[in-house]
Amino acid sequence: VIGPYFFENAAGNAVTVNGGSYRDMITNFLWEELNGIDLEDIFFQQDGATCHTADETMQLLQTKFHGRVISRRGDVNWPPRSCDLTPLDFSLWGFLKGKVYANDPQTIPELKEEIRRTINKISPQLCQNVIENFVKRMNVCKQSRGGHLSDIVFHI
């Protein structure tokens, strides 16, 4: 798991995520995190937010993930409202929220530190469980001919 990354200015204040700030994150954070990793068989997945799919952003992603970008306007088109199959949506955010808020952070710095601590504790086994759950979700989605999985409970 790479991250977290907080979109902030030099003073540490939150900033709006736009095309420029997203590309800055990719260039100044993500590329550093991926340095030394063989990316030949790794795909990059993102949602269809405008800042993610701007021409400059897509060109930047192609420099490391040529032919392997899963996104609206990407090499593999990812349909809108497809959170049924997006691992971050169906597993990570709920997991993080439960763990982070269990410790009742009272300030933004405490919240950020709790997020960092929780992400750093994500085990390889949890990642493996998410992958196995993803495969189950794909099979159920295929059987339902692309329908939503809202009535199905998956345990990680």
The pLDDT tens digits for 131-156 are: 888 788 778 777 776 666 665 555 44
* pLDDT recorded at residue 80: 67
Half-sphere exposure of 51 (CA within 13 A, CB side): 11
- Residues 144 and 137 sit within 8 Å (Cβ to Cβ): no
- Tell which phi-psi region holds residue 73, choosing left (phi > 0), alpha (psi between -120 and 50) or beta: left
pLDDT value of position 115:
95
Please answer whether residues 70 and 76 qualify as being in contact, where contact means their C-beta atoms are separated by less than 8 angstroms. Answer: yes
Q: pLDDT digits over 65-124, tens only?
A: 999 998 888 888 877 666 666 777 777 888 889 999 999 999 999 999 999 999 999 998
pLDDT of residue 150: 60
- The contacts of residue 147 (CB under 8 Å, 6+ apart) are 141
Q: What residue ranges do the domains of the chain occupy?
A: 19-77, 83-144
Q: Which of 72, 75, 60 is nearest to 25 (CA)?
A: 60
Tens-digit pLDDT profile for residues 50-82: 999 999 999 999 999 999 998 888 888 877 666
State how far Cα 52 lies from the chain centre.
12
